[in-house]
């Protein structure tokens, strides 16, 4: 074979081998940091799953968007990537987040650029500090990050170390979140409805019976939600205690699901609580307009017959919260979720 042809064949072989390696690198769960762009991207077999992002326009890091298998986005686009026709209320509801409405009197939940300057001292922000580690793998990937909760007064209240485990099973996509909060001062999570793990879902996962209204936070700040239902809204909540639809809000249980359909495809979001969490089983701050949240630190705010639950951590002590979020490309039965909850209960001991 002439030398010229040998070189061509070798180049072709190297290019082909490189393409194969590139494809292989896309397989499994890939966790790819890009700190310059303030993001870490997570893909499954080369397809987007979610991204951990900390844009300067938000007051906390979030996972955004959440994408089920088949490329179906289950989170609202606003405020990070607005979609035509979706609600634009609650600008602090972005993707999936973790914070609280009353920590030593400071509101971390409702903080956004929409807060009036005179009220910003009452708010709190969570600042991403560093990526501690990333791992990719065939069946799962991991991301460990460190952030700090800072009061409007400038005082650092909590160091936050969060471990995310991203995995896939039988077409479902899974996020396990383990967050450890270390107290930098004496901390009180005052009994409040605004918490703790939240997801703002896409308009088609809103409740078809949502009537809207004015929703007021613990500080008395009102937010109006349009009373017209979103086109195609089909979301139905179901809790482990059998509370369905609008009846799920303000009740507690070990899990809650939200099921809806878009373009003849059905998706279920499940949030599973863990018995080691304070306040287990959690209350569900699950609104028909699209807020799906687990709040184990509110009690009397949801049920006036209960005593106030002001959860405290002494300076130098810590608390860990564990949650599992599953995106199913189908409906699921209570028996299936109960088995998942049983498994998750002993997953991280």
Rounded average pLDDT over 258-285: 97
pLDDT of residue 226: 72
Tell me the three state secondary structure of residue 263.
coil
Rounded average pLDDT over 128-139: 98
pLDDT of residue 217: 65
Is residue 228 scored above 70 in pLDDT?
Answer: no
Q: State the pLDDT confidence band at 113, using cuts at 50, 70 and 90.
A: very high
Quick one: DSSP state of residue 9?
H
Residue-wise pLDDT tens digits, 92-105: 999 999 999 999 99
pLDDT of residue 229: 67
Nearest to 112 by CA among 231, 226, 221, 225: 221
pTM of the model: 0.90
Residue-wise pLDDT tens digits, 167-204: 999 999 999 999 999 999 999 999 999 999 999 999 99
Residue-wise DSSP of 22-71: HHHHHSSEEEEEEGGGTEEEEEETTEEEEEEE--TTSSS-EE---EETTT
Q: What is the C-alpha separation between 52 and 63, in angstroms, rounded?
A: 5
Alpha helices (runs of H) in 202-333, residue ranges in sequence order: none
Q: Give Cα separations from 149 to 53, 125, 152, 179, 185 (angstroms).
A: 16, 6, 10, 13, 11
Q: What is the C-alpha separation between 172 and 45, in angstroms, rounded?
A: 13
Is residue 144 scored above 50 in pLDDT?
Answer: yes
Comparing 222 with 3, the larger pLDDT belongs to 222
Q: State the pLDDT confidence band at 25, using cuts at 50, 70 and 90.
A: low
Residue-wise DSSP of 193-210: SSEEEEEEB-GGGS-TT-
Is residue 16 scored above 90 in pLDDT?
Answer: no
Q: State the pLDDT confidence band at 225, using cuts at 50, 70 and 90.
A: confident
Residue-wise pLDDT tens digits, 39-72: 999 999 999 999 999 999 999 999 999 999 999 9
Among 13-17, 125-129, 133-137, 179-183, name the one with the lowest average pLDDT. 13-17
Rounded average pLDDT over 204-226: 78
pLDDT of residue 227: 64
Nearest to 75 by CA among 86, 85, 65, 60: 65
Note whether 251 and 241 are within 8 A (CB): yes
């Amino acid at each position: 074979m002439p030398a010229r042809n040998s070189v061509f064949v070798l180049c072709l072989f190297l290019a082909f081998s490189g393409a194969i390696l590139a494809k292989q690198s896309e397989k499994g769960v890939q966790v790819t940091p890009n700190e310059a762009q303030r993001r870490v991207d997570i893909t499954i077999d080369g397809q987007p799953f979610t991204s951990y992002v900390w844009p300067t326009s938000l007051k906390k890091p979030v996972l955004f968007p959440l994408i089920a298998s088949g490329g179906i986005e289950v989170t609202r686009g606003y405020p990070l990537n607005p979609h035509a026709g979706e609600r634009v209320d609650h600008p602090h509801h972005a993707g999936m987040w973790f914070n609280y409405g009353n920590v030593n009197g400071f509101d971390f939940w409702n903080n956004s650029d929409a807060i009036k300057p005179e009220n910003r001292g009452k708010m709190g922000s969570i600042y991403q500090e560093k990526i501690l580690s990333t791992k990719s793998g065939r069946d799962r990937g991991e991301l460990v990050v460190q952030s700090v909760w800072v009061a409007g007064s400038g005082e650092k209240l909590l160091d936050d170390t969060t471990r995310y485990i991203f995995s896939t099973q039988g077409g479902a996509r899974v996020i396990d979140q383990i967050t450890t909060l270390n107290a930098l001062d004496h901390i009180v999570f005052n009994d409040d409805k605004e918490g703790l793990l939240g997801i703002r879902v896409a308009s088609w996962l809103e409740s078809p019976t949502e009537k809207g209204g004015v929703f007021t936070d613990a500080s008395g700040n009102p937010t109006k939600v349009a009373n017209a239902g979103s086109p195609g809204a089909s979301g139905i909540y179901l809790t482990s205690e059998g509370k369905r639809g609008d009846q799920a809000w303000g009740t507690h249980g070990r899990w809650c699901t939200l099921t809806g359909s878009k373009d003849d495809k059905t998706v279920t979001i499940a949030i599973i609580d863990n018995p080691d969490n304070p306040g287990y089983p959690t209350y569900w701050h699950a609104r028909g307009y699209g807020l799906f949240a687990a709040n184990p630190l509110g009690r009397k705010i949801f049920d006036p017959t209960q005593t106030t639950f002001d959860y405290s951590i002494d300076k130098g002590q810590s608390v860990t919260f564990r949650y599992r979020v599953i995106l199913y490309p189908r409906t699921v039965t209570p028996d299936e979720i109960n088995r998942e909850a049983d498994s998750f209960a002993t997953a991280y001991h």
